[in-house]
Structure 1
């Protein structure tokens, strides 16, 4: 609890508003114990259907944008005619931002069947079935099936020999899922399986439509593939809407950009979005 309170009180969108922040936290703690599901108002008419224990979803309810810089980048970098790819979509927070707020098309990829049901529920409550395609699969270097953990909420991942609670899920290459499509931004949250996911996305990386990739873990081999496709590492400051070559901004994921100058212009001219008390 102390860790959660420290995070939400220090969040950029909550600073200076401790009483309302604590009230929002307390309200959720009470309501989520009395109701199986809460459909909470979110950003510019969108909603989040969440239950107690959904850490990523509740972070958005507490803070507006749980992963502030990463989520704001999606809001500012995408346009209505773009395709966003949400790899490891969980319950769909990023896809709601991309399609529900910006109006872009999204492909939301989530391997866990239970979580995919929550993802579908969020697409339903936001009436986004015409904008969001759900793909229930893990992504990797080949096609087939793979063992995946259960019961870890946002931390579910490809299983190892030490994992007792597991299930078998489909495995697809990102190149196959995106064949014939032109993604503009990809967010990849696959809990350490990024290298294998990128092995199956070599053609996607070459697609000139792709201007940015957000991903959590990048080893030397993965970095070589990404940089070999013309991407450079940046961080993003949502408050000034500027890209920084040095990783100076606190981001949950690493950001790689291709065509930084053109993207910088898009970031500066994107519409402002109301998130709680703030316009960003």
Structure 2
């Protein structure tokens, strides 16, 4: 795939900033903030941004995962407001595939206790540095999650598109693997976000006990074509696994209200899954 030209990338950023609902009352100020970030980055200086009300995150130039926080707070409007509606102080939130930690910090800013899972050595270092900027109860676990504990391989130097491999590669690092059931033990998680570039089903396979016992209230799952590349399958097996445990598929509206979906969609917007007695509204 050919990389977009700098002009195209700049246009995408400007469009994102200008049209984002978080910026509707201060678009010009948001554009100025984005420009300052770009200038500072080219001078080798990171920018510290706010996410939520008081969480802080350090963003360096070309840090794709964290840069969206510079452009809008919160960057993933519908999804992050769904968590702000759902999480309560003291709840447990598990961020699987945390990267720089924007979701972990957003959840902690809402009062949740957070376990942030990140297998990449470089990303885990960035995550720990961002956690250290804040006074929140966030535990960082440097490992991947899958169906069984052990070891796997993770691609390197691909930023947010690093993904798991089931065989060694010269372009991959060896990573420890655990299961979500082991991470949770006997605890109940109010929320779990899973963004692992196509291997989401493997994470859910390792959470069958928690799912069967209804000890995960709401899940957010990346829902794109990466599963076809990594596992050679669509998202249907993920939907079947979740609905088989009584979970209902939903997507958040612009107010963060979870609305049910009646069929397994193929679009790239993240999917939510709600436990049988969890918060779900009727379709609008």
Q: TM-score range by the shorter chain?
A: 0.7 to 0.9
In 2: Cα distance, 1:162 partner to 1:3 partner: 36
In 1: Cα distance, 2:47 partner to 2:16 partner: 22
Superposed counterparts of 1:121-270, under 5 Å: 121-128=129-136, 131-159=137-165, 164-217=170-223, 219-239=235-255, 241-246=256-261, 252-259=269-276, 263=279
Structure 1 residue runs of 4+, over 4 Å off?
160-164
In 1: Cα distance, 2:246 partner to 2:155 partner: 34
Q: Is the 8 A contact 1:70 1:252 kept in 2?
A: no
Q: Pairwise CA RMSD of aligned residues?
A: 2.3
In 2: Cα distance, 1:197 partner to 1:43 partner: 27
Residue 35 of structure 1 and its aligned partner are, at CA, apart by 3.7
Q: Is the 8 A contact 2:51 2:106 kept in 1?
A: no
2:23 equivalent in structure 1: 14
- Tell me the TM-score normalised to structure 2 length: 0.84
Greater relative contact order: 1 or 2 (C-alpha under 8 angstroms, separation 6 or more)?
Answer: 1
2:78 equivalent in structure 1: 69
Relative distance call for 1:223 and 1:41 in structure 2 (3 A) is closer
Secondary structure of the equivalent of 1:263?
coil
Residue 164 of structure 1 and its aligned partner are, at CA, apart by 5.0
Structure 2: segments with no counterpart, 5+ residues: 1-9, 224-233
Give the one of 112, 124, 143 matched to 1:116. Answer: 124
- Tell me the TM-score normalised to structure 1 length: 0.85
Could you report, residue by residue, the CA deviation over 1:189-224 in whole angstroms, capped at 9, with x for unpaired residues?
000001111111111212333221100137222211
Secondary structure of the equivalent of 1:52?
coil
Relative distance call for 1:160 and 1:58 in structure 2 (3 A) is same
Residue 56 of structure 1 and its aligned partner are, at CA, apart by 2.1
Q: Is the 8 A contact 2:16 2:71 kept in 1?
A: no
1:39 equivalent in structure 2: 48
In 1: Cα distance, 2:245 partner to 2:107 partner: 24
1:89 equivalent in structure 2: 98
Residue 226 of structure 1 and its aligned partner are, at CA, apart by 0.3
Could you report, residue by residue, the CA deviation over 1:117-145 in whole angstroms, capped at 9, with x for unpaired residues?
111111110122xx111111011111111
Relative distance call for 1:161 and 1:5 in structure 2 (3 A) is farther
Q: Is the 8 A contact 2:251 2:270 kept in 1?
A: no
Could you report, residue by residue, the CA deviation over 1:80-132 in whole angstroms, capped at 9, with x for unpaired residues?
12100100011111111111x1111111000001110111111110122xx11
Secondary structure of the equivalent of 2:90?
coil
In 2: Cα distance, 1:161 partner to 1:53 partner: 29
In 1: Cα distance, 2:183 partner to 2:168 partner: 30
Relative distance call for 1:238 and 1:77 in structure 2 (3 A) is farther
In 1: Cα distance, 2:123 partner to 2:34 partner: 23
Structure 1: segments with no counterpart, 5+ residues: 266-280
Q: Is the 8 A contact 2:152 2:167 kept in 1?
A: no
